[in-house]
A and B are shown apart, each in its own frame.
Chain A
Amino acid sequence: MSQPTPAVKTVEQRDQVVILFAGDSGDGIQLTGSQFTDTNALFGNDVSTFPNFPAEIRAPQGTLAGVSGYQLHFGSVEIFTPGDQCDVLVVMNAAALKANIGKLKQGGTIIANSDGFDPKNLRLAGYAAGDDPLANGSLVNYVLHSVDVTKMTRAALEELTLGMKEKDRCKNMFVLGFINWMFNRGMANSERFLHQKFAKKPELLDANLRALKAGFHYGDTSETFTTRFDVKPAPMPKGTYRSITGNQGTALGLIAAAQKARLDLFYGSYPITPASDILHELSRHKNFGVITFQAEDEIAAIASAIGASYGGALGITASSGPGIALKTEAMGLAFMLELPLVIVNVQRGGPSTGLPTKTEQADLWQAVHGRNGEAPIPVIAASTPIDCFDMAFEAVQIALEHMTPVMLLTDGYIANGAEPWRFPQAKELPEIKPNFIPAREGVGDPAIPAQGRNDNAEAFLPYLRDERGVRPWALPGQAGLQHRIGGIEKQDKTGNISYDPANHELMVRLRAEKVARIADRYKPIRLDSGPAEGDVLIVGWGSTYGAIRTAALQLQAEGRSVAHVHIRHMFPFNKGLGPLLKQYRKVLVPEMNSGQLRQLLRAEFLCDAQGLNKIQGMPFTSEEIRAGVLNLLQA
């Protein structure tokens, strides 16, 4: 197969490419994908990724259930989504092909590990005996390259003393090497990565480097491949970049905000997919005064965070839908106590256990309404991995400056997806001012001689509100501010238990007004794209941002009168939203649920919003959004 001299190769320019790596969940697919992402980002491409893996850690090998995928969209143009359909599909076995062939464009390229199409793999993937898709002509509409990755990896590592199992685990590096060649990228970044990863395991380093190079040279020498692709750097704003996932963004945003408020950060949490990576990230940064507490359950996770906030730290908890359900009662307590607290919900497919590794936006009603009694808490939502940082920071600002629990919604799609981040400087981030109150030394203290004693000071009023309706944050240990708080209805100002009917109504209103006034701090609402008035306004929220933006820009380029606004404040809404909705003939609300924001908009603004709903555990494609808008325009 290989030639002693390199064959003549041509290089084809592309402005963007979508590549999907797929294989068994043990094949190292996520590593291959994230490494290639890194290489392209370093090169200067804009990138967006979508890791998609099974809930089982090691699902049965070779089966459809065990297929793990990593989709990367990179380009010399601005990239907003991981891409609707792929140009290149890399499959390590028959199941990976079967599960993903529908996502490949007509005429797209398939790179298949032929060893993964033996009779056993074909059977496990559900192909009939002898019906090998690589050989039966069913892939005639694609450019098919069948490569025996296993055999060539073994050959490259022949001299090494490693066991066969270890050698076979280097297959993903062969693939990475080949893909580096195919897209005209060098091997330097991949090599540097391997040197870091296997710094203490020279044998494995050697094996992986050999496999990587073997893959690269295979592209160079094999006659099968005559074309390489080149994707030039994107016109990204100048600056220093790093890659960031949504969960990392959330964790860093929380730490940054705690630092800006000069507070310790207490994170109470119970492991749950897809939120656990926030716990993992925070637990690495204890030198920022971060305490992570892996609680015995979801209830203890939030209750411990409330205890920490009561003590004057920044209390935070996070989970996903089922865990948030368990935290509901404690959220009501935090609301009633009027203590700062941030609750992060990394949404996943529901209800109940639902689809743990898939994405959905179906917890919006739970966030806005899901408590007993009238307990409105501010709800904000992040739209991209980077936005997770910004919104986590804002969640802390609101919690500390308005003395309230705040719910931050992200979802599995942006939590695990990554994008290049031109990270801010610490000094660019605003200071946060917690609503502390000075202690009152000597109030009623008999240890102090009578003349110096402040006996006549009025009783401390823990629920005396300022002009924004916000109460002070008095901390245990502060002299003269002793007070009792609890979940029972309290008397206005004093906080003492009160069952007085008129007082209850007053308190329900005061608490609601305080939360409503948080809208006063928002910046004016701003369109993401499109005309200030026209035919259709697309109202999006959360992780649908990239798909909606791509579709809106395309529709505008096609001459349609379509605008896009993306809502980050789910409750209370931006005051400019109501008037904005009236500037368009029709309003379309795409959501990965049955229409939860649509109903909130209808209820709040008497607006005849239409829904575009997808409930498949998978993000929208931009084409789906575009088609939805065109349908509405024709209706």
Chain B
Amino acid sequence: MSTVNGLNATPVPGSGSGVTARSDKAEKIDFSSDQEVRWCPGCGDYSILKQVQTLLEQSGKKKEEVVFISGIGCSSRFPYYLDTYGLHGIHGRAPAIVSGLRSVRPELSVWMITGDGDALSIGGNHIIHLLRRNVDVNVLLFNNEIYGLTKGQYSPTSPEGAVTRSTPMGSTDHPFNPLALVKGADGTFIARSMDRDPKHLREVLARADAHRGTSLVEIYQNCNVFNDGAFEVFTEKASKPANTLFVEHGKPLVFAGGTKGICIKDMKPRVIDIGPDFSPNDCWVHDERDNFKASILVRLFEDPQHEGAFPRPFGVFYVADRPTHEEKLQAQVRRAKEVKGAGDLDALLKGGHTWVIS
């Protein structure tokens, strides 16, 4: 990297390229920082941190090219634990900080760490605008359906009726369906994974990192102190097969160990039994590029306790190509320079209309 600023090409002191001679067999870069990790023992965040570190180590990225931006909450401590650039911001505003950073530094690898309260409550306004603008950032939304750092109040994803410290008689709020919200804001990469499935999480994160635009990954994350077992039905061996649907591009939607599938009939999804009457060929084949089916997938969001509920989908639901916001901003600057020439300060100060007093 020879310049930091894309526009004025301001040389950054000492960031000249070609100084480092990289050997072919590079040792693994350790992305962990010298700071002691301070989440509660048993927190799902540890698993996510591990997968992110592993992914970065395998990615070939340089540490200095990577930036983590977060808001406020347990998850937002994440940047302190990585030996990259990091900015621990204020509650809910990480998307706006990211938008400004990416506008001026589009060559960096930017990651945003947020939670259900940070992204969907206090930062709700910012996250939808980040998505519609399609700023190139990997958003990891740690959803634990509870406020952890403030010690156990319900969050915008807590189910209605949730009994928490602030709702002793049960929450009266209807919760957000986070990915339906993301779809509604025209997100260009929509995915869900979970802390308890490291391999799946790592694969989904790698896909998110490869996508140009806002990649939003909702990660079910267990808060073992204030909301233990919230996602148990999706993560425990016994209940996982019947209640989860792992979608893969080009593959039929089957679950429960291949014994069940989902088809679309009369424009509606239906669960079918694979066997004498139906084969996997009768199932809906997942297509990440299908805008309308993605809208149905994000809506498979029923309470698993519900009789005949659909399984909860995991994986990459939707991918779309749309130019990023920063590309368009920078293109305007380039075009302005082409048309008007690089800024001439004297001409600017003079303006259009002058007169002389002699």
Contacts from A to B (Cβ < 8 Å): 38, 41-42, 44, 233, 236-244, 252, 255-256, 259, 262-264, 266, 268, 285-291, 293, 295-297, 299-301, 303-313, 315, 329-330, 332-333, 337, 423-426, 436-442, 445-449, 452, 459, 475-488, 496-497
Contact = CB atoms under 8 A, between A and B. Distances in A.
Contact of B7 (A42, A291, A299): A291
Contact of A289 (B8, B88, B95): B8
6 contacts: A240-B354, A252-B349, A286-B337, A289-B333, A448-B20, A482-B83
A433 B221 CA distance: 46
Contacts of A440: 14
Contact of A291 (B80, B90, B333, B349): B333
B118 to A, nearest CB: 13
A41 B354 CA distance: 10
A445 B29 contact: yes
B163 interface: no
- Greatest chain A CB density within 10 A among B103, B107, B342, B343 is at B103
A304 B358 CA distance: 46
Interface in B63-89: 63-65, 67, 69, 79-80, 83-89
Contacts of A480: 64
A285 B64 contact: no
A337 B34 CA distance: 20
Contacts of A423: 349-351
A310 B80 contact: no
Contacts of A41: 355
With a 10 A CB-CB cut-off, give which of B5, B339, B346 has the most chain A CB atoms: B5
B5 A38 contact: no
A242 B350 contact: yes
B172 interface: no
A310 B97 contact: yes
Nearest to A42: B355
A241 B355 CA distance: 5
B22 interface: yes
Interface string B88-112: 1110010111111111110110000
Contacts of B19: 441-442
Contact of A303 (B35, B89, B333, B343): B89
A378 to B, nearest CB: 21
Contacts of B14: 438-441, 478
B332 interface: yes
Contacts of B345: 255-256, 259, 288, 426
7 closest Cβ contacts across the A-B interface?
A: A486-B88, A307-B100, A288-B343, A304-B100, A438-B14, A446-B27, A303-B96
A215 to B, nearest CB: 23
Given A242-B355, A479-B15, 14 more contacts: A237-B357, A241-B357, A256-B349, A264-B6, A286-B332, A287-B340, A306-B97, A311-B105, A329-B90, A448-B23, A449-B21, A476-B64, A480-B64, A485-B87
Given A291-B329, A423-B350, A263 B83 contact: no
A303 B33 contact: no
B264 interface: no
A303 B89 CA distance: 9
A481 B64 CA distance: 7
Contacts of A264: 5-8, 10, 104
Nearest to A255: B348
Nearest to B108: A476
A223 B19 CA distance: 86
A287 B335 CA distance: 8
A447 B23 contact: yes
A437 B7 CA distance: 20
B69 A242 contact: no
B13 interface: yes
A522 B96 CA distance: 34
A496 B80 CA distance: 8
Contacts of B15: 439, 475, 477-479
B28 interface: yes
B185 to A, nearest CB: 11
B40 interface: no
A263 B129 CA distance: 27
A97 B34 CA distance: 74
B105 A476 contact: yes
Given A476-B85, A476-B108, A263 B350 contact: no
Interface of B: 1, 4-8, 10, 12-15, 19-23, 26-30, 33-35, 62-65, 67, 69, 79-80, 83-90, 93, 95-105, 107-108, 125-126, 129, 329, 332-333, 336-337, 339-343, 345-346, 348-351, 353-358
Q: Which of A41, A244, A423, A477 has the most CB of B within 10 A?
A: A477
Contacts of B100: 266, 268, 293, 303-311, 315
A296 B101 contact: no
A447 B69 contact: no
Given A287-B343, A311-B104, A303 B90 contact: yes
A437 B13 contact: yes
A486 B343 contact: no
A308 B103 contact: yes
B292 to A, nearest CB: 27
Contacts of A476: 64-65, 67, 85, 101, 105, 108
Contacts of B341: 287
Contacts of B129: 295-296, 300
A329 to B, nearest CB: 6
Given A291-B329, A305-B100, A333 B356 contact: no
A477 B350 contact: no
B99 A312 contact: no
B88 A445 contact: no
A439 B2 CA distance: 12
A477 B15 CA distance: 8
Given A426-B345, A487-B90, A300 B126 contact: yes
B88 A288 contact: no
A263 B30 CA distance: 33
B89 A297 contact: no
B215 to A, nearest CB: 18
Contacts of B28: 446
Contacts of B35: 484, 496-497
Contacts of A487: 88-90
A293 B333 CA distance: 13
Nearest to B76: A486
Contacts of A300: 93, 95-96, 99, 125-126, 129
Contacts of A447: 20, 22-23, 26-27, 29
B13 A304 contact: no
B7 A297 contact: no
B63 A477 contact: no
A312 B105 contact: yes
Contacts of A38: 353
A630 B7 CA distance: 57
A615 to B, nearest CB: 34
A337 B355 CA distance: 46
B108 A477 contact: yes
A479 B64 contact: yes
B101 to A, nearest CB: 4
A484 B107 CA distance: 19
A409 to B, nearest CB: 23
Contacts of A293: 99-100, 103, 329
A285 B348 contact: yes
B93 A448 contact: no
Given A41-B355, A291-B329, A477-B108, A438 B99 contact: no
B89 A238 contact: no
Contacts of B84: 482
B111 to A, nearest CB: 12
A44 B65 contact: no
A487 B89 CA distance: 6
A311 B12 contact: no
